Structure 1
Amino acid sequence: MKTKDIKFLEVRYLRGPNIWTYRPVIEAVVDIGALEDCPSNVLPGFVDRLKAFLPTLIEHRCSYGERGGFLRRLEEGTWPAHIMEHVSLELQNLAGMPGGFGKARQTHLTGVYKVVIRAWHEEVTRACLEAGRELVMAAIEDRPFDVPATVERLRDMAERKLLGPSTGCIVEAATSKERRIPAIRLLADGNLVQLGYGVRSRRIWTAETDRTSAIAETISRDKDLTKNLLQSCGVPIPEGRIVDSAEDAWAAAEDIGLPVVVKPTDGNHGRGVFTNLMTREEVESAYAAALEEGSGVIVERFIRGSEHRLLIVGGRMIAAARGETAAVVGDGKSTINELIDLQINSDPRRGAAEEFPLDVVVLSENPVALHEVTRQGFTPDSIPPAGREVLIIRTGNHTCDITDSVHPSVAETASLAARIVGLDIAGVDLVCEDISRPLEEQRGAIVEVNAGPGLLMHIKPATGEARPVGRAIIDHLFPNGDNGRVPVIGITGSCGKTTVARLVARLLTLSGKHTGLACSDGLYLDRRRSESGDRATWEAAHRILMNRAIEAAVFENGTDEILGKGLAYDRCQIGIVTNVDVARHTGRFYVETPENVFTVLRTQVDLVLPGGAAVLNAREPMLVEMASLCDGEVIYFAADPDLPAIAAHREQGKRAVIVRYGHVMLASGQGEQSLARLADIPLTGGGNDKAQIENVLAAVAAAWALDVSLDVMRTGIETFFAD
């Protein structure tokens, strides 16, 4: 007897484009058992309990396309698999992964559904799906469910697993509809990302790129060396020197003139930087604290004004933010620590995670802030008088966008500083009283040049306009509209995929492109087989796309791979569907009908880029029907030149590869050109092997679409042997 339960039968991660969407998803096959007879409107109190658990479900539009649409479906009656889809998506949203694709579709088995949700990260999305199932069951069974604790757990997991905000904004800009640059995450839980494929790819790690040299980064970490280089090129810097003891620090302060700044020679992110020091006690105390944050200590002139961070990308200033102080005001009853929690850490912009633009302030962990409190005569446990303002943080807190206020000469000076250090992307810190005036008018100076600057302050400023810094970095890495792509050719169908893939790869190699091939015969780099065995897999294709020597990539894609893992590439230049034998594809992955097979095979056609081409067998009505789904050109192939689909296609001036008078012909509109005699093509068995003739035609059509020369195509097909 079936129980009222939701059971996971299978859960698979489709890590690339699939039958559902272009994006990675988790596909769960679930059995709802006796709940098949219990839509939401017949479960007493269920809808109210679910809405109480997740009030934000009101934002789900569902099939009605309007706010509250999903709740309307609940009231009218919908099934637990569909409900679990929406609940899982909302848990993802609450965990910091907004939006996303979702579907719930019944299989041919009663009570068995496929639930599909957008996967930002496999582990995180699986956890959201499992939590979604538990929440739905709790609502059905009228038992408690701790939503806040669940969301906190999922959010913590997302913060640890997903791309950080800096890397994320660059990847988002790359993969936007405007640029369509593919992205591959090279570390499952890290921020190392490849943008583009093969030889045209670039790499980023947060806001560092493969153009960020190790020498430049090393220079930027050495504050004294950076200052010397900047000073030698006429960039204004604060006077100062490295010191080797607390006594030497005070001597330097006396030479420079008070007030001074004491900071590590190789620190970053403002750690260990003590400013506006006026006494020997302050200087010597700051020396000891700064030494703990770096390998040495520098003392330099204190510059009056606010601290500013200018983001330089490719020699241009892209964004600028001003730092603000943080202070508390005494109420006569709360300690400094308590006031910090009440008045500073309560700011929603502050948090421990990377997504927050400001850090939580904890005096016991922040010697600079503790120093500020101490110098004002307080301890963390002191209770300041009512109305007394106590400064907590003097520098940092870059949350105010001031990009439009920066004087052109200041922007040029910051850009020069980045070039002197050698950084393609730099965060240049400068201090001045008025950023709209030249630095020399106000004794302003550049105090640091940082590699790998954080971008969050520019993406989500507290005040002012958010700046498209991710787009600027992408424009720097991929100028003039470059999309970072090499030709990718994907082949699917029922038969002949391996032969077509090998022949296409051969033609591309002969044309001079270093070509990678992943097929059932192995993984090939040009004509060398580097891995034997079946390599028509997501993993093998992924390795080829990461190979920075590859100039073209050819992939065989079986339907089981499409259904079980998705495709390794986001889009392709050429998509080939060889033929269709429905019986070969049914009985697995809940594929049971010709319509199901159509849905699987069309995936290859859906991925063709607008400037690419789908190569389709005109002998197959199902494939002719797919032609309208292609964003690019369609090139038909068929041994029979008189097929209605070929005739109609050519009447529209479009291309086809056919056989006439024993010759392979390239047909464009009403014109035809002979490429080679079938009798001269070994693969066709003297023109008698119909299946191999179609394979040759498909490969020739792909090469034609890729502008491979006729001589190369002819030589390739006349010298290719199936073994």
Structure 2
Amino acid sequence: MSAPHIQFLRMTHLRGPNIWTYRPVIEALIDIGDLEDCPSNTLPGFNQRLTAWLPGLIEHRCSVGERGGFLQRLEQGTWPGHVLEHVALELQTRAGMQTGFGKAREAGPRGIYKVVIRTRHETVSRQALLTARDLILAAIEDRPFDVPGEIAKLTQMVDSLCIGPSTASIVDAAADRGIPNIRLNDGNLVQLGYGHRQRRIWTAETDRTSAIAEGISKDKDLTKQLLTMCGVPVPEGQIVDSPQAAWLAAQDVGLPVCVKPTDGNHARGVSLELSLREDIEAAYDIALAEGSEVIVERFIRGEEHRLLVVGEQVVAVNKGETASVTGDGVHTVLELIELQINSDPRRGEEEDFPLDTIRLDEHTTSVLELKRQGLSADSVPEAGREVLIMRTGNMSMDVTDLVHPDVAAQAVLAARVVGLDIAGVDLVVQDISKPLGPQGGAIVEVNAGPGLLMHLKPATGKPRPVGQAIANHLFKSEDNGRIPVVGIMGDGDTTRPAKLLAWLLHLKGLQTGLSCADGLYLNQRRLAAKEGMDWAEAQRLLINRGVQAAVFESDARHLLAQGLPYDRCQLGIVTRMPKAQGLDDLYPGSDEKMPTYVRTQIDVVLPEGTALLNAADPQVAALAEHCDGSVIFYADDEHLPTLSAHRSQGGRVGFWRDGQLVLAEGAKEHLVLSTQRPAITRLLKTDTLQTQDMLVAACAAWALDIGTDLIRAGIKSYGTQPTV
């Protein structure tokens, strides 16, 4: 055998529901060449090297359906395409991008395979496939491969490219409720819901978080003034403009004091319990380095707490803890910080770590803490000596169940006074299970965009479902953020009925978007002319906050090459089963395979939605079994067995009878329109519409609760309205 190779012929990002799954995937078309003759059980040492490098493969159940299933397939003999799938998935998992779905299928020609993996970010998954290919070839040829190094590279990509864990907790909670989401930028700006029913989040800020409220929260002095006016206990304080003024203010408000920036965050630049002039003046410089102004406040005795307020309730509370090291007589303070504090797996530089690493430089409060203890970063504390490094910023202990109702009420009031719908309220109190006022506790800060990770991954105590709380705050229990979405697919016969249905929805008074082969439309005005259908163009309709309903025409090529531009639909229509002819570059297989692809249009129909199917096409009619919702059959002939049987069971059907369009549910009939009417005759003679188009659109409109009078008037008036 010549040198083994696995060649990528093409990688396709299917960004929406597709022939493989509801979720976005990367579909790789590969050529394994002579490895087609070399299943895994014929490659000496391959399985052992692979599992030694990636021991997590034992968790892959594969088609066997049990832990270790994939390893069984390796021992029995499986081909490189299948191995590539599992190795790429495992690399993604090791890098922190959890995905479990994958497929590997022969594409037709010998040695050509389609390998599919679930993706949460296209760039990461593309690289995972490339790395998996290189790893497999190294294992086959018994060459060294730096698995930890490659996983580290992928991990860095995940950290920099994927949405952060706080945002993900909200998105996942919304998804659990059936609320769709669209990522709007490379950061954490995410849309929940579609069209005019959408909401937007940016980590823990929402489209209800006003710029005024955020500006107030950043101004600590203004925040305190407003809270004081409303009777919320806050520490007395003064803004100062020099180290000397800081000392004078400290004497004024009473020692000891806290010195901090007026517009800082994450406890950076905050120095606590200062009584000496030199410490207070040094703390001024530290605070100024982290903000634009410095405030000196009366020091509140007690423990620091962070209360997460969402809407009108406190949903999570964490208590702070100090960070200390213990001397051993050998290592410096700086070395002890690395050994005893920064080695904690909860600490890191990225957002998904609940605690920050501690870095010493001239502007950190830790330097001042050391100085107050007669130490510096280079000091070597004697064995057993406890050295305080940091007093603030370590909110790691969940105490939500201990919070007194008065404390929670004060925190909610503070958030409301500032104007924030989601707020991180910092307070200092000796016992959070008792009322705030009698024990001299006070609220010291109200923050916009609070971190959520401390509540999702506390060091001690229960994780709190804060993402769920925010999703429920944005969407009431009966609201899934969806607008009526219609998907229509066929074999070159769907553009006219799609445009007619969009017209009927427009007449109903809905701001209606349409993506079809002729272009992109909003309220009958063409926004973009294009040849064929495009995923990104179509999704513009779902991002548009003015859209109240949307119709999407798709075809087999669009489905195979891009996926659907929406996750689920209220109405899924299939008019005719397409053929495989003309799709050779996508390796679709024979015509017999097409129903397994086109069923995607019906798979995505919501349980409360409807599938509209052509009863005259047996392959289309058979898709009814894949619908989670109800079904409407249509055909020219009302006596067609499929249609008649459905109607006899009380189902809804549409058909033509002696030139009359009839919509029927069981024995009840609605006569919609006649081909003898002059307006209908005009449409047919000018080939503006065909009778099949009218039937499909009428049935679809009926499924969307448009009355027969409006359907009749809409079809008769179609083509007379000006279009741009």
TM-score, normalising length from structure 1? 0.98
| AA matched with 1:275 | L
1:220-231 equivalences under 5 Å are 220-231=217-228
Q: What's 1:437 paired with? A: 434
Residue 396 of structure 1 and its aligned partner are, at CA, apart by 1.7
Q: What's 2:695 paired with? A: 697
Q: Secondary structure at the match of 2:353?
A: coil
Residue 369 of structure 1 and its aligned partner are, at CA, apart by 1.4
Q: Is the 8 A contact 1:598 1:622 kept in 2?
A: yes
Q: What's 1:518 paired with? A: 515
**Structure 1, unpaired ranges of 5+:** none
Residue number among 637, 642, 649 corresponding to 1:640 in the alignment? 637
Q: Secondary structure at the match of 2:168?
A: helix
1:630 aligns with 2:627: yes
Residue 511 of structure 1 and its aligned partner are, at CA, apart by 0.5
| AA matched with 1:657 | G
1:567-578 equivalences under 5 Å are 567-578=564-575
- Which has the higher mean CA deviation after the structures are superposed, 275-284 or 711-720? 711-720
- Which has the higher mean CA deviation after the structures are superposed, 214-223 or 596-605? 596-605
Q: Distance in 1 between matches of 2:495 and 2:189?
A: 33
Residue number among 472, 477, 495 corresponding to 2:474 in the alignment? 477
Q: Secondary structure at the match of 1:299?
A: strand
1:258-657 equivalences under 5 Å are 258-364=255-361, 367-534=364-531, 536-584=533-581, 586-657=583-654
Can you list the C-alpha shifts for 1:49-68, whole angstroms capped at 9, x where unaligned? Answer: 10111111111111111111
Q: Secondary structure at the match of 1:637?
A: strand
Q: What's 1:713 paired with? A: 711
Residue 2 of structure 1 and its aligned partner are, at CA, apart by 6.8
Q: Is the 8 A contact 1:682 1:720 kept in 2?
A: no
Can you list the C-alpha shifts for 1:229-248, whole angstroms capped at 9, x where unaligned? Answer: 00110000011111111111
Q: What's 1:675 paired with? A: 672
Q: Distance in 1 between matches of 2:628 and 2:117?
A: 25
Q: Secondary structure at the match of 1:363?
A: coil
Residue 586 of structure 1 and its aligned partner are, at CA, apart by 4.4
Q: What's 1:245 paired with? A: 242
- Which has the higher mean CA deviation after the structures are superposed, 158-167 or 689-698? 689-698
Q: Secondary structure at the match of 1:479?
A: coil
Q: Secondary structure at the match of 2:134?
A: helix
Q: Distance in 2 between matches of 1:216 and 1:341?
A: 39
Q: Is the 8 A contact 2:127 2:154 kept in 1?
A: yes
Residue 583 of structure 1 and its aligned partner are, at CA, apart by 4.8
Q: Distance in 2 between matches of 1:418 and 1:674?
A: 58
Can you list the C-alpha shifts for 1:354-413, whole angstroms capped at 9, x where unaligned? Answer: 100011111127611121112111111110000000001101211111100000000000
Q: Secondary structure at the match of 1:664?
A: strand
Q: Distance in 2 between matches of 1:586 and 1:561?
A: 11
Q: Distance in 2 between matches of 1:537 and 1:713?
A: 29
Aligned CA distance change for structure 1 residues 691 and 523 (closer, same or farther; 3 Å)? closer
Can you list the C-alpha shifts for 1:237-291, whole angstroms capped at 9, x where unaligned? Answer: 0111111111111011111111100001111111111111120000000001111
Q: Is the 8 A contact 2:577 2:595 kept in 1?
A: no
% of aligned pairs identical?
59
Q: Is the 8 A contact 1:313 1:426 kept in 2?
A: yes
**Structure 2, unpaired ranges of 5+:** none
Residue 337 of structure 1 and its aligned partner are, at CA, apart by 0.9
| AA matched with 2:517 | S
Q: Is the 8 A contact 1:519 1:534 kept in 2?
A: no
Q: Is the 8 A contact 1:683 1:720 kept in 2?
A: no
Q: What's 1:138 paired with? A: 138
Can you list the C-alpha shifts for 1:317-360, whole angstroms capped at 9, x where unaligned? Answer: 11100111110000110111111111111111011111000111
Can you list the C-alpha shifts for 1:82-137, whole angstroms capped at 9, x where unaligned? Answer: 00100000000000012321110111111111000011100011111111111111
Q: Is the 8 A contact 1:2 1:33 kept in 2?
A: no
Q: What's 1:153 paired with? A: 153
Aligned CA distance change for structure 1 residues 358 and 95 (closer, same or farther; 3 Å)? same
Q: Is the 8 A contact 2:670 2:708 kept in 1?
A: no
Q: What's 2:22 paired with? A: 22
Q: Is the 8 A contact 1:679 1:687 kept in 2?
A: no
Q: Secondary structure at the match of 2:690?
A: helix
Q: Secondary structure at the match of 1:410?
A: helix
- Which has the higher mean CA deviation after the structures are superposed, 98-107 or 627-636? 98-107
Q: Distance in 2 between matches of 1:475 and 1:695?
A: 41
Q: Distance in 1 between matches of 2:430 and 2:547?
A: 52
Residue 588 of structure 1 and its aligned partner are, at CA, apart by 3.6
Residue number among 252, 259, 274 corresponding to 1:255 in the alignment? 252
Q: Is the 8 A contact 2:16 2:565 kept in 1?
A: yes
Can you list the C-alpha shifts for 1:191-233, whole angstroms capped at 9, x where unaligned? Answer: 0111111100011101000000000000000000000000110
Q: Is the 8 A contact 1:684 1:692 kept in 2?
A: no
Q: Secondary structure at the match of 1:242?
A: strand
1:14-93 equivalences under 5 Å are 14-93=14-93
| AA matched with 2:148 | P
| AA matched with 1:668 | E
Q: Distance in 2 between matches of 1:561 and 1:684?
A: 33
Q: Distance in 2 between matches of 1:37 and 1:316?
A: 64
Residue 594 of structure 1 and its aligned partner are, at CA, apart by 2.4
Q: Is the 8 A contact 1:505 1:517 kept in 2?
A: yes
Q: Is the 8 A contact 2:180 2:481 kept in 1?
A: yes
Q: Distance in 1 between matches of 2:279 and 2:339?
A: 28
| Cα RMSD (Å) | 1.6
| AA matched with 2:195 | G
Residue 533 of structure 1 and its aligned partner are, at CA, apart by 2.8
| AA matched with 2:489 | T
Q: Distance in 2 between matches of 1:583 and 1:26?
A: 22
Residue 168 of structure 1 and its aligned partner are, at CA, apart by 0.8
Q: What's 1:97 paired with? A: 97
Q: Distance in 2 between matches of 1:619 and 1:586?
A: 25
Q: Secondary structure at the match of 1:175?
A: helix
Q: Distance in 1 between matches of 2:74 and 2:44?
A: 12
Q: Distance in 1 between matches of 2:449 and 2:269?
A: 19
Q: Distance in 1 between matches of 2:2 and 2:508?
A: 62
TM-score, normalising length from structure 2? 0.97
Aligned CA distance change for structure 1 residues 683 and 181 (closer, same or farther; 3 Å)? farther
Can you list the C-alpha shifts for 1:140-161, whole angstroms capped at 9, x where unaligned? Answer: 1110100110011100110000
Q: Secondary structure at the match of 1:252?
A: helix
Q: Distance in 1 between matches of 2:446 and 2:239?
A: 17
Residue 28 of structure 1 and its aligned partner are, at CA, apart by 0.1
Q: Distance in 1 between matches of 2:673 and 2:585?
A: 41
Residue 584 of structure 1 and its aligned partner are, at CA, apart by 4.4
Aligned CA distance change for structure 1 residues 687 and 609 (closer, same or farther; 3 Å)? farther
Q: Distance in 2 between matches of 1:111 and 1:690?
A: 48
Q: Is the 8 A contact 2:318 2:455 kept in 1?
A: yes
| AA matched with 2:108 | H
Q: Distance in 1 between matches of 2:526 and 2:602?
A: 28
Residue 683 of structure 1 and its aligned partner are, at CA, apart by 7.5
Q: Distance in 2 between matches of 1:685 and 1:217?
A: 57
Q: Distance in 2 between matches of 1:588 and 1:627?
A: 29
Q: Is the 8 A contact 2:190 2:202 kept in 1?
A: yes
Q: Distance in 1 between matches of 2:693 and 2:292?
A: 66
Aligned CA distance change for structure 1 residues 579 and 243 (closer, same or farther; 3 Å)? same
Q: Secondary structure at the match of 1:480?
A: coil
| AA matched with 2:714 | G
